Amino acid sequence: MLLPWAAGAPWTPADYGFAAAMFAALGGMIELAVRTSGNPAYRAGAIVAIGTAFLLLWSNAAVGLLGDGDNPANAVFLIVLAIAILGGLFVRFGNAGMVRVMQGTALAQLLAGTLGWTLGWAAPGGQGVYEVTLGIALFGTLWLVAAGCFARAARHSAQSRTASPSI
């Protein structure tokens, strides 16, 4: 927490409060996900998805994915998070449903970045292309890794149901 001060960008008390709330939410959501399912693949998918959401929100607030952190166009990435959260609620955070939600979230990440760059919301020139491409690639890949983990959990769940002996 002293890194911003050491880098010459001291945080305000509000910054520290925001960081504390973010880390508390991160820990609470991971704890809930781990308690919800005993399936290691589901847990991994949930941890990757929660971590990705955390990193997206944190990096967007700190430096922004489209231009700088003060660029209001960065709010478009809140839609990506809304898709992940509302989609998860809609499918009741079930294995197979979460695969589709994470795939849709990765697509939304791609569309948000592409839209921002196309409309000129990103930094000008090569820097903007670099930032948007990096954001799409990094976060899109993480959303798809979460989808892969949920797919593995869904396969394991389906195998468990079919392998159960009937009486």
**Tokens describing residue 156:** 């394991």
The tens place of each residue's pLDDT in the chain, 167 residues long, gives 666 666 667 788 888 899 899 999 999 999 999 999 999 999 999 999 999 999 999 999 888 899 888 888 999 999 999 999 999 999 999 999 999 999 999 999 999 999 999 999 998 888 889 989 999 999 999 999 999 999 999 999 888 777 656 55
pLDDT value at residue 24: 97
pLDDT value at residue 62: 84
The SS3 of residue 30 is helix
CA atoms of 33 and 137, how far apart (whole Å):
25
CA atoms of 33 and 128, how far apart (whole Å):
36
pTM beyond cutoff 0.75: yes
DSSP 48-75: HHHHHHHHHHHHHHHT-SSSSTT-GGGG
pLDDT value at residue 157: 87
**Cβ neighbour number for residue 118 with a 10 Å cutoff:** 10
* CA dist list (Å): 157 to 81, 104, 142, 153: 27, 22, 23, 6
